[in-house]
Structure 1
């Protein structure tokens, strides 16, 4: 279903026109902050755990915010559809900043985990609200460029975030990794506010029937995701038990949070959501293996392996830039097909690094192809989600898109961790099997890509 939005008929055709300039800067800055914090915390957390004597809660410091973020995505979707994106955005920033403040001031690891959970809840609220803002504030012909800007907003943090975080930890102390971000978050959200006021006012409505049940299922999915994350950190029989229980929980809860027909790849939105999850699983499944594979099999230093991942991040940005500037394709399936083909070929090509007689360069080139595919795919699926959503369903469907993405990534990370830990030491067979699964996800998505186009009667 393609519907009109609140954008005026005379909407400008440039992201940097006077009416949209401040909003564009604000929302891209917020995405950059979410990206920086997600990447910087991983660098700082070992020091945090040692400082607070909290190694026992180390995994929970990552699993907790992920679980609260899952719940917040569902809450934000319901809230945006009933009240518009402004309340969810403001509350998202408030929770995000409050969580950072609690974590930065924590004197115990338990307090820091509480702060991380609050921060994760704010991130979930904010991420969905930003998608709804794009749907309501930007004309359809600009949305691919907005989502390309979102992708670019992740590139700089991915390149410099860990290094900057390391410098902050060494010279200012780990607390400033948390405490410095609010100084930018608040001005960024203030830039967005005037543009939101200019949108057509939405009459507040009551949440739809079943909203409370959806939040309950989201709590179940969040708890299962946290258990999955925890299980992936364990070893032996315990790993299989925890991951099995978590997967059962996800299979029970997640279908109730995603569009009907998701599991059978029904045409239209269900397939759009499914393709996003498959792409995320493929890329993350390969990304987590590459540094370990290159260091163990090819003798790469951590810096050298990290630079290979950087190649993928840069090509992702290039792909996003390309899809934002090419003319609209005849078929909505064209960009998803191209992106998934690149992901399947690229992740499969990374296995060339396992062949001793083959230089590493072809595998690096293959990884850049996978990144290019993600850049072509992600923004196009985000745009399709908004196009296939009625205005009163943009929050729910944006929430579903990000839920599928996050949960697919969490699942493949846990399963990959279990595969790599199954033997006494990971070897070529382990790496090849995980890369084969990644390529298989991309190939399955390629087969299903034509189903993003709804039937005329849908």
Structure 2
């Protein structure tokens, strides 16, 4: 109690339903993201969609960029209610379509729609937080969101494998859809009487800082172009090599031109400081998530692991990611950003090359779990550091743009690298499979990422310890 009035919390009776519903939505999105990685090898095998395996991941990430940009602009214009409701409906629709699909193309359609919803849902929920919770509660609600990712990281892959093994892979989509409907109803009921309009006392400077319609429209168009081109790279694996490779190359060039205005100036040429931070984030994300997509697939197809046991590799990485994030939050400032980059890159390179050796020799399958745990730990050291550096290099006037750029780089880098990995997997089998080539690609992209990594600097000054700690416990998959 304070002055006779109850102390506001995220769990008080006015916000309890919104808090629970929002956290559950984040939780289910996390469960689904991890579940798909575990069960997609079964989906592709069951529906004879080997060539489209990678685009099932890349497409969702690509359309997520559209969802983020549209939801952000829509929320600024008219509040987050309609964008949130639309995004959740799209997420549910995508899950249902994928869950009842009878061929791989329908699964991909569902995944594309799901990506639109997932990207928009996250952004809209963040705006809801800004409108519903006072500033002093923001740290607590975002900590709850982070916890909603940590738990699925630990149990999601194993649970998804068990569902696929003992029920059917379709329930990893349909089950999450049903639970999302329940959480969505709770959010609707609790938000019905809440005013989600922008604060009426916004200053003229804040109103003037809002992006104009022309700039918003351009960003949406560019996001759509990036997404279409990234999906085209994925579909190149399903075409004849004479068509697939030129299509992939042209699409990558289109992405490079379209994404340039969405990133800080100089990002694509690895200009020092912030541009290099944003570029490195996209490259490292691409290397890690491209390799991750093929880890459970290799364990199941090459070493006959069950889906449940194959998911343990992802669990090991998630646990190591969370633990390493806490370590960097405590000791990262002492080590410095450049040293952190070198340590993380070295660990990732060991993991990728080790996986390539296992894939080539068909030996020591349990080493995959250890190696992927090392990779997860390396990401836990690096990912939050890049988030904090982005904020350290930002001012109040460009925090929104730079944060958006980091997410766009992350999603686009992942989508493109996963798509290219799919093309290489199908086109260049080595020692009887494409797995060694995929992990070699991840190592190559990581080496390219070391170029901006050596130019990121240590921030304009001492980095706030509280900011480091906050980033350390944030979403352990997306830092």
TM above 0.5, yes or no, is: yes
Instruction: Trace 1:284-303 onto structure 2 (pairs within 5 A).
Output: 284-291=289-296, 299=303, 301-303=305-307
Aligned pair count reads 441
Separation in structure 2 between the aligned mates of residue 111 and residue 151 of structure 1, nearest angstrom? 28
Matched, 1:419 2:424: yes
Separation in structure 1 between the aligned mates of residue 15 and residue 333 of structure 2, nearest angstrom? 25
Q: In structure 1, what is the equivalent of residue 186 of structure 2?
A: 187
Structure 2 residues not aligned, in runs of 5+: 1-6, 463-479
Separation in structure 1 between the aligned mates of residue 43 and residue 127 of structure 2, nearest angstrom? 37
- SS state at 2:333 partner: coil
Q: TM-score, normalised by structure 1?
A: 0.74
Matched, 1:315 2:320: yes
In the alignment, which of 101, 111, 114 is matched to residue 119 of structure 1? Answer: 114
**Structure 1 range deviating more: 406-415 or 363-372:** 363-372
Q: 1:311-348: per-residue Cα shift (whole Å, max 9, x none)?
A: 22221232334456x37836873795354454344334
Q: In structure 2, what is the equivalent of residue 158 of structure 1?
A: 157
Separation in structure 2 between the aligned mates of residue 202 and residue 93 of structure 1, nearest angstrom? 30
Instruction: Trace 1:397-436 onto structure 2 (pairs within 5 A).
Output: 397-423=402-428, 425-426=432-433, 430=437, 433-436=440-443
Separation in structure 1 between the aligned mates of residue 435 and residue 99 of structure 2, nearest angstrom? 41
Separation in structure 2 between the aligned mates of residue 281 and residue 348 of structure 1, nearest angstrom? 16
Q: In structure 2, what is the equivalent of residue 149 of structure 1?
A: 147
Separation in structure 2 between the aligned mates of residue 194 and residue 320 of structure 1, nearest angstrom? 38
Matched, 1:210 2:209: no
Structure 1 residues not aligned, in runs of 5+: 1-11
Return the offset for 1:381.
Answer: 3.2
Instruction: Trace 1:202-241 onto structure 2 (pairs within 5 A).
Output: 203=202, 207-208=211-212, 209-241=214-246
Matched, 1:453 2:453: no
Q: 1:381-434: per-residue Cα shift (whole Å, max 9, x none)?
A: 334445555556554433322221121112212222232323453278636633
Inter-CA distance 448–397: structure 2 relative to 1 (3 Å threshold) = same
Inter-CA distance 118–393: structure 2 relative to 1 (3 Å threshold) = farther
Inter-CA distance 438–65: structure 2 relative to 1 (3 Å threshold) = closer
- SS state at 2:221 partner: helix
Return the offset for 1:264.
Answer: 2.6
The alignment's C-alpha RMSD in Å is 4.9
Asked if structure 2 preserves the Cα contact closer than 8 Å seen for 1:281 and 1:438, the reply is: yes
Separation in structure 1 between the aligned mates of residue 40 and residue 254 of structure 2, nearest angstrom? 31
Matched, 1:77 2:69: no
Q: TM-score, normalised by structure 2?
A: 0.71
Asked if structure 2 preserves the Cα contact closer than 8 Å seen for 1:159 and 1:310, the reply is: yes
Matched, 1:440 2:447: yes
Q: In structure 1, what is the equivalent of residue 4 of structure 2?
A: none
**Structure 1 range deviating more: 315-324 or 365-374:** 315-324
- SS state at 2:372 partner: helix
Inter-CA distance 177–141: structure 2 relative to 1 (3 Å threshold) = closer
